[in-house]
C-alpha cells in the first residue's frame, strides 16, 4: 500500500477526514517551502500538494498564478523541488507528498532526470492537463514506481465518464468543487453534497477529496460532512503572499491560519 493509501486507511479507522494543504513550491523560497512542510506535518496535515511553478497554469487562479511567477522569477525549477523533497525525506518527513503539475514541466523533468526514477520521494502525481484517456504510459510508469496517479473530476464531468476516471485513479480522487480556476470562495455550490455523493458512488472505496474554493472553517466543515477530505490552496497562498510582502514570519502566519481554518 502506498504512503497515501496508508494515510487514508488510518483516517478511515479513526473516522477522520483528510486535510490537504497546497503550496506553490519555491514561493517565497524553497527553503521556506521546506519550513512550511515541516510545520504542516506538525499541525496535523495528512497530505501535502506541492505545486510545480509553470508559465501557463491554466487551472490556477490569480493567487497561485502570482506565486508560480514569483517562484519562476527566483529560478525555481522542478529539479530543485525534487531536491527539496529528498532533503525533507532525509530529515524524516513522513507526510505523503503529491506533485501538482502540468504535463509540459513534468515531461521536461523526466527528460532531464532520466525518467520516473527522478521522482523518488514523491507519493502521488496530479497532472491537471493529462486526462486518463491519454495517460496509459504515465500510469504504468507511476505504478512501477509505487506512485499514485490522482485525477480530477468536476461539476462538468459527464456521469458516464466518472467510473473511468475512478478506475484510472489511485490514492484519492480530487473533486473540483466549482467551475473555473482555483481561488478561495465565500460559499460553494448549493448542490455540492449531491454532486460529491454521486462521485463517491462512482469511486467505490476510493477516497474523494474536494478542492478549489475552500477558504473558511465553515466551508471546510461543510465539505467534511460529505467528502473524505478537503484541499486548501489559494486561501493559504493568500496568507503566505501577504505575510511575505509585509516581511512577517510566513510560517507563523500560515500556522495561525491553519489552526483557525481546520474544522476537524
27, 49, 148, 262: which is the annotated catalytic residue?
49
Residue with cell 480556476: 181
Q: Quick check: is 248 catalytic? A: no
Q: Of 60, 123, 241, 262, which one is the catalytic site residue?
A: 60
Give φ, ψ of 158 to 5 degrees. Answer: -65, 135
| 18-24 β-sheet, strand order | 148-149, 124-127, 97-101, 48-51, 18-24, 229-232, 208-211, 173-176, 152-153
Query: How far is 141 from 115, CA to CA, in rounded Å?
Result: 9
**What does the alpha-carbon distance between residue 30 and residue 201 come to, in Å, rounded to a whole number?**
39
239, HSE (Cβ side, Cα atoms, 13 Å): 24
- Is 260 catalytic? The answer is no
Region of residue 192 (phi > 0: left; psi between -120 and 50: alpha; otherwise: beta): alpha
Catalytic residues: 49, 60
Amino acid at each position: 500500500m502506498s504512503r497515501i493509501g496508508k494515510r487514508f486507511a488510518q483516517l478511515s479507522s479513526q473516522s477522520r477526514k483528510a486535510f490537504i494543504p497546497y503550496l506553490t513550491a519555491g514561493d517565497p523560497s524553497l527553503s521556506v517551502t521546506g519550513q512550511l512542510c515541516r510545520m504542516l506535518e506538525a499541525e496535523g496535515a495528512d497530505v501535502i500538494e506541492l505545486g510545480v511553478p509553470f508559465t501557463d497554469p491554466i487551472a490556477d487562479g490569480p493567487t497561485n498564478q502570482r506565486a508560480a511567477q514569483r517562484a519562476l522569477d527566483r529560478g525555481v525549477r522542478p529539479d530543485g523541488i525534487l531536491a527539496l523533497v529528498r532533503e525533507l525525506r532525509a530529515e524524516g518527513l513522513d507526510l505523503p507528498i503529491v506533485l501538482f503539475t502540468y504535463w509540459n514541466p513534468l515531461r521536461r523533468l523526466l527528460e532531464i532526470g532520466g525518467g520516473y526514477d527522478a521522482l523518488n520521494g514523491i507519493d502521488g502525481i496530479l497532472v491537471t492537463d493529462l486526462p486518463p484517456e491519454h495517460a496509459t504510459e504515465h500510469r504504468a510508469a507511476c505504478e512501477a514506481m509505487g506512485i499514485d496517479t490522482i485525477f480530477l473530476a468536476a461539476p462538468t464531468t459527464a456521469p458516464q465518464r466518472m467510473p473511468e476516471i475512478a478506475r484510472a485513479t489511485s490514492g484519492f480522487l480530487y473533486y473540483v468543487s466549482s467551475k473555473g480556476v482555483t481561488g478561495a470562495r465565500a460559499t460553494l455550490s448549493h448542490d455540492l453534497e449531491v454532486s460529491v455523493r454521486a462521485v463517491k458512488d462512482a469511486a467505490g472505496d476510493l477516497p474523494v477529496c474536494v478542492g478549489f474554493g475552500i477558504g473558511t472553517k465553515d466551508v471546510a466543515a461543510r465539505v467534511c460532512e460529505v467528502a473524505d477530505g478537503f484541499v486548501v490552496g489559494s486561501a493559504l497562498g493568500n496568507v503566505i503572499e501577504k505575510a511575505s510582502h509585509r516581511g512577517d514570519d510566513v510560517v507563523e502566519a500560515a500556522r495561525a491560519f491553519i489552526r483557525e481554518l481546520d474544522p476537524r
